[in-house]
Amino acid sequence: MVSDRKLTFSMGLLLGSISYVLIIAFGQMSVGHKGKIQDHEHHHLRAPNREDSFKPSEAEGVALRESVRVYCFVLGEPKYRGYQAILRGTWTKHCDKAEFYGSESSPLSNRKANDTWLQVRETYKYVFEKYGSIYNWFFLARPTTFAVIENLKYFLLRKNATQPLYLGHTVKYGDLEYVALEGGIVLSTESMKRLDGALRSENCRDRSMIWKLSEDMQLAVCLKYAGVRAENAEDSEGRDVFNTKPIERLIQEAISNNPQHVVEGCCSDMAVTFNGLTPQKMEVMMYGVYRLRAFGHHFNDTLVFLPPSGSDND
Ligand SMILES: *[C@@H]1O[C@H](CO)[C@@H](O)[C@H](O)[C@H]1NC(C)=O
Ligand SMILES: *[C@@H]1O[C@H](CO)[C@@H](O)[C@H](O)[C@H]1NC(C)=O
Ligand SMILES: *[C@@H]1O[C@H](CO)[C@@H](O)[C@H](O)[C@H]1NC(C)=O
């Protein structure tokens, strides 16, 4: 009896240690997977390196700053009507221009609110026609997205908007690599031009009759026909800068996957988006990103992106 129990106990111990080792190994694998190992599995674009972050002269700084002009458009069903006031009052003020689509008060009529792919297509066509030559980067977000536009502009510095760039948080679905709408989608002027052409062709017709594809997948299929491929946006260390989840979820995941490096394992210092926020949480993010600071410490970036003149900003 006694030796049986002892045996069971040591078996338990052994099994316990094996599963512990496995958990650790898998934990590290999944952390590694989120980091640099991903490099060879997908296309990606990196932010400028912080260490050699440029110290441009005054004149260079002005030219660089003016070279990134971001038009933001938020597309949401009428049920997100309540988000508009908070969006207008928070992060979208930092865009060079921001507009809202999908609700009754939007510039486009809301004929088929339940056909989201049609809505995405019409919105892109409208935006290209109206603003295609005024801005050089086009950022599509959901009403539940929070974006740090200064970090987006930093990411886009020295990227060439006359090249067909399409970026954000990429996801693989079979052979298709697409940018997830939840993380925000960025298109350069050239991609907008090609998309506009493709939208007027047969290539972009609705495919959801055959396969149920979400609107962000259909957009990727359409852009692929136009020779534009999705790229994952990463910081100089390979961490995602566009996130499809809220910070607290990313932190929870890091606590269970990588308890020794919770913050580094979670989020980039230069993160551009988080998603899944309520209006109250957007206020909290504004506080965290723009207002909370340690007294006596100040950032010393030589290049500063100013909000559009006349806007009452944080
Ligand atoms: C959209 O809504 C209309 C009526 O509101 C309905 O007839 C139609 O089937 C719906 N279409 C889809 C794709 O759900
Ligand atoms: C941007 O890309 C265009 C077309 O690919 C090219 O002609 C131009 O020289 C590039 N500009 C810079 C600054 O690299
Ligand atoms: C800020 O930057 C300037 C110019 O690059 C430098 O002279 C100064 O020492 C910096 N200040 C701090 C507190 O880092």
CA dihedral over 172, 143, 154, 137, signed as positive or negative: positive
DSSP string, 212-255: ---HHHHHHHHHHHTT--EEEEE-TTS-BSB-SS-HHHHHHHHH
Q: What integer pLDDT is reported at residue 104 of this predicted model?
A: 67
**Which of the ligands is closest to the CA of residue 300?**
3
Q: Are 85 and 274 in contact (CB under 8 A)?
A: no
Structure confidence by residue, pLDDT tens digits, 24-54: 333 333 333 343 334 446 889 888 776 455 6
**What domains, with CATH codes, occur in the chain?**
44-291 (3.90.550.50)
Q: Is the CB of 162 under 6 A from ligand 2?
A: yes
Which protein residues touch ligand 3 with a CB less than 6 Å away? 55, 300, 302
Residue 240 has pLDDT above 60, yes or no: yes
Which has more pLDDT, 113 or 229? 229
Which has more pLDDT, 97 or 61? 97
Kindly report the protein residue whose alpha carbon is nearest to atom 12 of ligand 1. 114
Distances 5 to 2, 8, 27 between C-alpha atoms, Å: 5, 5, 32
User: If you measure from the C-alpha of residue 206 to the centroid of ligand 1, how many angstroms do you get, rounded to a whole number?
Assistant: 15
Q: Which tokens in the block code for residue 154?
A: 């930093």
Kindly report the protein residue whose alpha carbon is nearest to atom 7 of ligand 2. 162
Average predicted confidence (pLDDT) for the chain? 83
The pTM of this model reads 0.81
